[in-house]
């Protein structure tokens, strides 16, 4: 899921590849916390709308049911922020970031907060439970394996299915970068760029082929017959779309070739208008409004429209002057950016807060005043997420400083990305 909060990437491998020259110091992307905030609110919106009865009972349910689109925004953000340091190295012909350091950072970012939230939800608050299987069920959930087992994928933190995909992507991305960057230093810049684009097209083809295969071989176990649609290959097109933004961003930055038209004030508005059009289109596809349903072939188009929405939503935060325009200023506004900074904890805890608030207020499911419920859950989730951020997440990331090998800096200096790969709220 979700990648969050701005900071510098430190580390890389031993040094530049032969013949390589370090690229110019990369830019910062200050609007990304605002994008995370939007994604988090969308996810909260889809869950609260169903529980309160808005989605199943109200005509606007066709819209609220599709607020799940926020997860796609998180996936594209991850694709962009995590791949950008690797593609910057590839296009410059220098050594890539260190794989071990990358994986350690991801573990420190994701695991401690997730384990705490999972423990409290299942063992302390009892708002969630593990599937059948005794200690093996606990192993599955604590190791992000639940989406691979029919008996587990709906249990634990139900929203953690996306974290399982994210964890698989973390394992995948350095290996993909290693394969796509092989012998890059011996090629000219245009050839490097072409190989990057071809690689991303291959990921999209693999994603569509995997989903078509899964849809063509559905089992006889209802929803769980499509378990393969919860695995990374089914979402590679979303990550690849974010990775494409990383490729284009790195190329234009290293060659100082950002098109003039993309700096115009109208570009963010057109981009967000296209995002809104994508959302409107997917809402009127006639898709089921239940949170869990058996996917069919129209879901290929649904995911493509989700991808389009996320792409155009993110575009103004990648290109153009980041200190100009109402859209970018709103994304950078401190209340919005602050919510984005704690959005990982917000994502982990909001369903537990929803359940406890229903119990505390003795509310009746599907008959709850929506805005009062949304506001209460939003505020309480933000409070808990803030505690998680400062008490668990930041201290966990600081553990890297106790590892002497982590302090060894790469001598590629200016390649150290000032993007959110090192983002403490990933």
**Per-residue model confidence as pLDDT tens digits over 220-273:** 554 445 789 999 999 999 999 999 999 999 999 888 778 888 888 999 999 999
Helix (H, G, I), strand (E, B) or coil at 61: helix
pLDDT at residue number 257:
78
Residues 1/74, Cβ–Cβ less than 8 Å:
yes
Q: What is the DSSP code (8-state) at residue 393? A: I
Q: Is the C-alpha dihedral spanning 73, 74, 76, 81 positive or negative?
A: positive
- 3-state DSSP assignment of residue 349: helix
Per-residue pLDDT, 397: 85
Element holding 308 (H helix, E strand): helix 298-318
The packing angle between helices 189-216 and 298-318, to 10°, is: 150
Report whether 163 contacts 142 (CB < 8 A): no
Instruction: Tell me which of 46 and 13 has the higher pLDDT.
Output: 46
Q: Would you state the pLDDT for residue 423?
A: 44
What is the spatial distance between Cα 296 and Cα 98, in angstroms, rounded to a whole number?
A: 40
Question: Helix or strand or coil: residue 96?
Answer: coil
Nearest of 242, 216, 244, 210 to residue 229 by alpha carbon: 210
Q: What is the pLDDT of residue 399?
A: 83
- Pick from 180, 177, 241, 162: nearest CA to 208: 241
Q: How many CB atoms lie within 10 A of CB 322?
A: 19
3-state SS class at 95: coil
**Gap between the Cα atoms of 404 and 44, Å rounded:** 40
Sign for the CA dihedral angle at 115, 116, 119, 121 comes to negative
pLDDT band of residue 218 (cuts 50, 70, 90) is confident
Would you say 225 and 240 are in contact if contact means Cβ atoms under 8 Å apart? no
| Whether pLDDT at 5 is above 70 | no
* Residues 125-180 pLDDT 10s: 999 999 888 899 999 999 999 999 888 988 999 999 999 999 999 999 999 999 99
Question: CB neighbours of 287 closer than 8 A, spacing ≥ 6?
Answer: 65, 66, 298, 299, 302
Task: Determine the Cα–Cα distance for residues 67 and 41; give it in Å rounded to an integer.
Answer: 9
C-alpha 147/C-alpha 226 separation (Å) is 11
Residue 18 scores a pLDDT above 80 = no
Q: How far is CA 82 from CA 60, 69, 134, 297, in A?
A: 36, 20, 36, 30
Q: Is 242 helix (H, G, I), strand (E, B) or coil?
A: helix
Q: Three-class SS of residue 286?
A: coil
| pLDDT tens digits, 356-415 | 999 999 999 999 999 999 999 999 999 999 999 999 999 998 887 665 444 544 333 333
Yes or no: say if 73 and 38 are a contact pair by the CB < 8 Å rule. yes
CB distance 20 to 94 below 8 Å = yes
At 60-87, the pLDDT tens digits run: 999 999 999 999 999 999 999 999 999 9
CB-CB contact of 396 with 112 (8 Å): yes
Sign of the torsion formed by the C-alpha atoms of 126, 128, 132 and 135? negative
> Average of pLDDT values for 34-56?
97
- Kindly report, residue by residue over 171-213, the tens digit of the pLDDT: 999 999 999 988 766 678 888 899 999 999 999 999 999 999 9
Kindly state the DSSP code that residue 98 receives in the 8-state scheme. P
Q: Is the pLDDT of residue 351 over 90?
A: yes
Does residue 17 carry a pLDDT above 50? no
pLDDT value for 219: 61
Three-state DSSP string of 182-239: CCHHHCCHHHHHHHHHHHHHHHHHHHHHHHHHHHHCCCCCHHHHHHHHHCHHHHHHHH
Write the secondary structure of 131-199 as one string of H (helix), E (strand) and C (coil). Answer: CCCCHHHHHHHHCCCHHHCCCCCCCCCHHHHHHHHHHHHHHHHHHHHHHHCCCHHHCCHHHHHHHHHHH
First to last CA, the chain: 7
57: pLDDT strictly greater than 70: yes
């Amino acid at each position: 899921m979700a990648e969050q909060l701005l900071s510098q990437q430190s580390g890389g491998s031993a040094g530049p590849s032969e013949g390589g020259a370090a690229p110019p110091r990369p830019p910062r992307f200050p609007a990304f916390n605002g994008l995370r905030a939007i994604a988090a609110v969308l996810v909260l919106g889809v869950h609260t709308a169903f529980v309160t009865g808005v989605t199943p009972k109200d005509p606007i349910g066709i819209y609220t049911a599709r607020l799940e689109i926020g997860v796609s925004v998180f996936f594209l953000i991850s694709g962009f922020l995590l791949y950008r340091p690797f593609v910057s190295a590839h296009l410059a012909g220098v050594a890539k970031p260190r794989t071990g350091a990358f994986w350690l950072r991801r573990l420190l970012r994701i695991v401690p907060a997730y384990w705490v939230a999972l423990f409290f939800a299942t063992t302390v608050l009892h708002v969630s439970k593990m599937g059948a299987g005794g200690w093996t069920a606990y192993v599955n959930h604590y190791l992000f394996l639940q989406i691979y087992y029919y008996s587990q994928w709906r249990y634990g933190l139900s929203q953690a299915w996306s974290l399982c995909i994210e964890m698989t992507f973390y394992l995948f991305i350095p290996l993909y970068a290693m394969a796509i960057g092989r012998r890059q230093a011996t090629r000219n810049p245009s050839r490097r760029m072409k190989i990057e684009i071809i690689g991303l097209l291959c990921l999209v083809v693999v994603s569509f082929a995997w989903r078509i295969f899964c849809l063509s071989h559905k089992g006889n176990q209802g929803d769980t017959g499509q378990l393969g649609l919860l695995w990374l290959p089914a979402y590679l097109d979303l990550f690849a779309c974010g990775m494409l933004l990383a490729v284009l961003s790195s190329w234009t930055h290293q060659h100082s070739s950002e098109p003039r038209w993309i700096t115009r004030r109208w570009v963010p508005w057109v981009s967000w208008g296209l995002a809104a059009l994508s959302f409107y289109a997917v809402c009127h596809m006639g898709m089921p409004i239940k949170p869990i349903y058996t996917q069919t072939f129209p879901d290929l188009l649904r995911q493509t429209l989700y991808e389009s929405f996320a792409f155009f939503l993110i575009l103004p935060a990648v290109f153009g002057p980041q200190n100009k325009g109402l859209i970018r200023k709103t994304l950078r506004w401190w209340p919005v950016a602050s919510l984005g900074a704690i959005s990982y904890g917000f994502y982990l805890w909001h369903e537990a807060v929803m359940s406890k608030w229903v119990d505390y207020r003795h509310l009746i499911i599907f008959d709850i005043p929506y805005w009062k419920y949304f506001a209460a859950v939003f505020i309480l989730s933000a409070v808990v997420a803030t505690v998680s951020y400062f008490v668990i997440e930041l201290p966990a990331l600081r553990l890297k400083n106790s590892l002497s090998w982590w302090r060894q800096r790469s001598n590629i200096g200016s390649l150290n990305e000032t993007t959110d790969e090192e983002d403490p709220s990933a």
